[in-house]
Amino acid sequence: MRLSTVLSLLGFAASPLLASADPVADYFSKLAPISRSVLLHNVTGPGAGADPGVVAAIIPDPSIPEFNVYWVRDACLVYNVWLNELIALGDKSLRPLMDDVTLALVRSQHVDSISGNIYNGGLEEPVFHLDLSFIRNASYRPDGPPFRAAMLIKYADWLLEPAQKNGTWVADNLWPAINLDLQWISRTWNQSSYDLWWPPVWGGSYWTAALQYRALIAGARLGHKIGRDVVDYPKKAALVLDYMQSFWNPVEGFMTETTITDVALGRSGFGSAALTVSVYNYDQNLGCDPLTFQPCSDRALSALKVVGDKFKAMFPLTDNTPADKPGWFGFFTEDEFIGGQPQFFSTFNAAEQLYAALNTWDKIGSLTITPVSLKFFVQFDKNVEVGTYAKNSKTYSQLTVAIRSYADEIIVITAKGTPADFVLPMSVHKVTGKPCGPRGMIRSLAAALGAVDTYMGMPPPSWSFPKRRLAGSDGLQDVDSQKVYFDSYA
């Protein structure tokens, strides 16, 4: 689709989207500008006392003060979208905002809190008041440092481009902040942690490990560009990548969220955190790599099918949905937070994963079905077989058309639960399907814009080393050889 249409969809241009009979395009043309406007309001209009670049978790509401906060994780979800649009679409109006965002992220590193200071755990403080003072009842979460580092690295990579002429500033000012998080990750990556969702459980977290791997790899690449010592980071990244594979459940074909897989302890392991990993660590240069859980990998597709079926059976709203039709996604199957409702965030993520897979197959020129992913593909062709299908083949065409339709159906589901004013809340009610939860939830808005970007074919910038060797056909071949090759940068 032409860039002008993309910009119009995202609300960057004044001209309206051309009339379309496509319900997804029509929905996105209304949703995207409003979502973008609300996000900008949440970072510029929370009121007196808010620091520049600090994005409130919801449209500030005095009746629910526990949500009127700056949550590093949710803020980074928003920053990820803004950075993608700044870099891919060249929306220079976002540059001053990203400068403020960068300052807020760096300031969050230096707040002494119950978690500690920059030397003994303070980097893992997850949530702050809007003036960046600490909240006394917060608990530390190790997904903060790698997500924060990944966003700062993404901005630094863009600033290093010749057109920006900011190389010295990146090396002298931004790298020290990035390296603070990378050093912490390198020292603590193998410690137990809380998982993504609330209420959290203490154990191993796939979400955290995947963010740590990305931060270490992207940080090594950036450090090498600016001449910094990063030898330890690729070594630690290789260990983290190996650890990530231990979350795979080969019997049922899904990636468990946490090492705690005892329902009596609050988790079976079925949840959407791994699908979120697939979306936020998406890198077209990695193709359909299963080790990093790329959207078109056999593992990610299998997990989407398995976890999606679990959620369809969980919610009364969708428990009678046919096997070949999508339903709402939630946080995890034992979720009881605010009633355990279907979530806009994870449902948009599911659609985005499929749009990303379609974009990558189109770039590669083929799609591959393995025994692992067969359960996903037979939804669309009960007679399809394991193999690789070229872009010009009948099977490729039939499957990709059906998968795009399936992804569109997920978006139509979210449209049915969207409020009349298009300001997304956190969730919909699991019985009635009516919107519910805090209004203007930034994780919902960011997920919506991420789905729009990917629907329009806009890939995020690469974070990996281009020379990185991919896995073998069995998905686990020669894991120890997933090394970083610095010679390409000599």
The CATH number of residue 325's host domain is: 1.50.10.10
pLDDT value for 278: 97
Which two structure tokens, joined as six digits, stand for 121? 């755990």
* 274 domain-assigned: no
Domain check: are 51 and 31 in the same one?
no
pLDDT value for 139: 65
* 400 domain-assigned: yes
Mean pLDDT of the chain: 87
Answer yes or no: is pLDDT of 291 > 90. yes
pLDDT value for 128: 93
pLDDT value for 196: 59
pLDDT in tens, 420-473: 999 999 999 999 999 999 999 999 999 999 999 999 999 999 999 864 443 433
* 147 domain-assigned: yes
pLDDT value for 444: 97
Answer yes or no: is pLDDT of 101 > 60. yes
User: Which of 192, 200, 182 is closest to 273 using CA atoms?
Assistant: 200
Answer yes or no: is pLDDT of 160 > 90. yes
Which two structure tokens, joined as six digits, stand for 1? 């689709």
pLDDT value for 467: 46
Domain check: are 185 and 88 in the same one?
yes
* 304 domain-assigned: no
Instruction: Give percent above pLDDT 70 in the chain.
Output: 86
Answer yes or no: is pLDDT of 477 > 80. no
Band of residue 6 on the pLDDT scale cut at 50, 70, 90: very low
Contact 390, 362 (CB under 8 A): no
* 213 domain-assigned: yes
Lowest mean pLDDT among 38-47, 58-67, 165-174, 392-401: 38-47
pTM: 0.91
What value does the mean pLDDT take over residues 197-216?
Answer: 84
Domain check: are 142 and 187 in the same one?
yes
Answer yes or no: is pLDDT of 16 > 70. no
pLDDT in tens, 19-66: 457 999 999 999 999 999 999 999 866 554 678 899 999 998 888 888
Domain check: are 25 and 72 in the same one?
no
Domain check: are 406 and 315 in the same one?
yes
Band of residue 150 on the pLDDT scale cut at 50, 70, 90: very high
Domain check: are 427 and 353 in the same one?
yes
- Domain span including residue 152: 47-249
What value does the mean pLDDT take over residues 171-180?
Answer: 97
* 65 domain-assigned: yes
User: Which of 218, 217, 83, 237 is closest to 159 using CA atoms?
Assistant: 83
pLDDT value for 2: 31
Domain check: are 447 and 339 in the same one?
yes
**Count of domains forming the chain:** 2
Answer yes or no: is pLDDT of 402 > 50. yes
What value does the mean pLDDT take over residues 350-359?
Answer: 98
**Terminal-residue alpha carbon distance, the chain:** 38
CA distance 267 to 306: 16
pLDDT value for 264: 66
Domain check: are 120 and 100 in the same one?
yes
Domain check: are 6 and 69 in the same one?
no
Answer yes or no: is pLDDT of 177 > 90. yes
Q: Of 201, 217, 249, which closes a domain?
A: 249
* 398 domain-assigned: yes
pLDDT value for 3: 36
Surface-to-core class of residue 47, CB atoms within 10 Å of its CB (0-12 exposed, 13-18 middle, 19+ buried):
exposed
Domain check: are 105 and 214 in the same one?
yes
| Cβ neighbours of 478 (radius 10 Å) | 10
Check residues 38 and 200 and name the one with the higher pLDDT: 38
- The sign of the torsion formed by the CA atoms of 394, 395, 396, 401 equals positive
What value does the mean pLDDT take over residues 128-137?
Answer: 87
Check residues 314 and 62 and name the one with the higher pLDDT: 314
Answer yes or no: is pLDDT of 234 > 70. yes
Domain check: are 192 and 54 in the same one?
yes
Whether omega for the bond prior to residue 199 falls within 30 degrees of 0, making it cis, is: yes
Domain check: are 89 and 131 in the same one?
yes
* 301 domain-assigned: no
Lowest mean pLDDT among 134-138, 189-193, 194-198, 231-235: 194-198
